Amino acid sequence: MFGCFLMTLNRYTAVCHPLRHDDMWTTLAVSVLLLADIVIAFAAFTPLYSNHFVYKPCLNGWALKGRSESIEGIRIMSSVVTVIFEMTSLILIFLAIYGLRKYGNGHIIRTDKSLILVTAINCALSMLECIYDISFLLNIESESVAFLKWIASQYEAYSLLIMTSNAFTIVFLSRAVRQEILHRWRLRTPTTTQIMPATT
């Protein structure tokens, strides 16, 4: 989520503030932000590492009783942070799209549009997951609301898309990566050797 927000902010500054873009996104700044992304991801869910499942004996063996500690606080925190970050990302996306209207067509502009489109899809997927978490925390029965029922039924699908979206994004946007894949998997055409008759 934090990486998605950084990508949105990067495209926003590239489109709306091109003169300050290179000064903001230096190699050192990007390295620090990536390190902060990893540290925040682990630190935010530190309580989960010591939280384990509890089982109880039953006639057929063991049944899941629950967790040793409640994780509702973590889920509320993640939902609130997700809503704030994704709403901010959507605002930046709309501003970037509005800023692209004054530019013509070109390879860089097409790349910016593609990056913004992929980022918008990631935001939408994250919002779906956030709606699912909030409905679960508020004890809203998904069976009574058609939209929540649909989200619950598609949870595994969009969770998979969220986890694999970065890999698809790189292949979709990077021409060099696509050419490398085609080069490695391209079938070699057979060559024939023609022997010319000797002349006397």
Tell me if 189 is assigned to some domain. no
Tell me if 88 is assigned to some domain. yes
Mean pLDDT of the 108-119 span: 65
Confidence class for position 154, pLDDT limits 50, 70, 90: confident
How many Cβ atoms are within 10 Å of 57's Cβ, its own excluded? 9
pLDDT at 193: 47
Tell me if 188 is assigned to some domain. no
Tell me if 57 is assigned to some domain. no
- Name the more confident of 17 and 158: 17
DSSP at 186? P
- What domain count does the chain have? 1
pTM recorded for the entire structure: 0.59
Mean pLDDT of the 39-48 span: 79
Confidence class for position 105, pLDDT limits 50, 70, 90: low
Tell me if 19 is assigned to some domain. yes
Domain of residue 94 covers 2-48+71-183
Contacts for 149 with CB less than 8 Å, ≥ 6 apart: 142, 143
- Name the more confident of 82 and 186: 82
Tell me if 81 is assigned to some domain. yes
Q: Give the integer Cα–Cα distance in Å for 158 and 120.
A: 14
Tell me if 132 is assigned to some domain. yes
DSSP at 143? G
Flag whether pLDDT at 187 surpasses 70.
no
Flag whether pLDDT at 54 surpasses 80.
yes
Q: Which residues of 28-56 are buried (b: 16+ CB within 10 A; e: fewer)?
A: eeeeeeeeeeeeeeeeeeeeeeeeeeeee
Tell me if 63 is assigned to some domain. no
Collapsing DSSP to helix, strand or coil, 56 comes out as strand
